[in-house]
Structure 1
Amino acid sequence: MQGDETRRVIEQHVSGLGPALYAGIAYGVQDAFTRAQGLKHAKYPHLRPLITRASLREYLETEGLPDPWSVTGNPALMGQLLITSAPMNLTLRVLKERRRSYPQSIPVAGHNKARRKAWQAPLFDISPSSPNSTELLLLWDYAEQADEGFTLRVVHPVEPGVYGQAVRCDLDFTVKPGGTLFENRQFTGDEEDIDFFQAHIERAENYDIN
């Protein structure tokens, strides 16, 4: 399966998750806002993102996900949240962006060896017969306009990233409220000729609390 075909399969497979993910993030953001009232966000900037991710997990575990997706990851590790399709060898890692400070930001992998390996792994063939697995990042952030709530997208980085520099990726889909995916960039030609999407990062986004 070539790169373009793999992207189409990913789009189709992840689209089925769209409604559940969008509803879950909406619940998590509101729940975090309610629970953190009285604690200034400027003083505890990590608190609401942590609660949002924890609340998202609780929501998905309660409401369930469409087959063959399941909630995985170890919540004891700073609320780690993974959404996995075992038959398709595909995993979404839930993290928060910082669009207001760093437009179109993608978190760096940091020093964790497992994360560094996942960040720079090729975009493998996504199919039940594939011997490889692919990890994507499911990135959310507060929308620039407060009444719009939040943003949600799926990206595939191709490098672990360096603090202060952009992280390249070869897949970037925005998840719309109805669950559909919109490709933010057109990727043409051979894999080595990809016009990579560029994004700013900051040191704090190495940590799973973001």
Structure 2
Amino acid sequence: MAIADRRDRERDARRRLIVTTARRLAENDGWDAVTTRRLSTEIEYSQPVLYKHFAGMDQIAAAVAVDGFGELAEAVRAASADATSAKDALYRVAHAYNDFARDNPATYDAMFTRTTTLPFASHDTPPQLTAAFDELRQVVGPVADEQDVDSLTEVLFAALHGMVVLGRAGRVRPDHDAERLGVLVAQFTGEGNRTH
């Protein structure tokens, strides 16, 4: 049994090395620079070894995406942990989401813009993807009132993603993220409907 355990650990370690190396290369040089040839050179394994773990680059990028969703869930959870109110939690989470996307652009691309076979919003969605949505849902619930929490969470997710994509593309004013996030939070907490 010890030999089988060791083989499993070695296999898991090789798989982890492939994924972390692909992510590092993508974050440094973009996804176009990540090829199986370059990966095999970087990790000093032959291409057939890579193919024992992944069928190709799409599966490697999907593994990076799954890791990213797990990290996003943790970032959102940590951001809301010390919140003093529902509005504060929502604002902190919106900032954490924005910061994650800014700090991990290639991982964010793997999660949301690259073509993937990862199942979203279905019974076989990986738990990391579900966890990220659930963490957003936790901060939306207290401000949902009579609205459907899942639908409202999807709207928050879509709004945050839209702001990230538009910001990265230079389609909105730079250096106004905090203001936009404040407006978004005000809309979700009902403060955006008040006249001043």
Is TM-score (shorter-chain normalized) higher than 0.5?
no
Q: Which has the larger radius of gyration?
A: 2
TM-score, normalised with respect to structure 2? 0.28
Q: Which has the higher strand share?
A: 1
TM-score, normalised with respect to structure 1? 0.27
Q: Which has the higher helix share?
A: 2
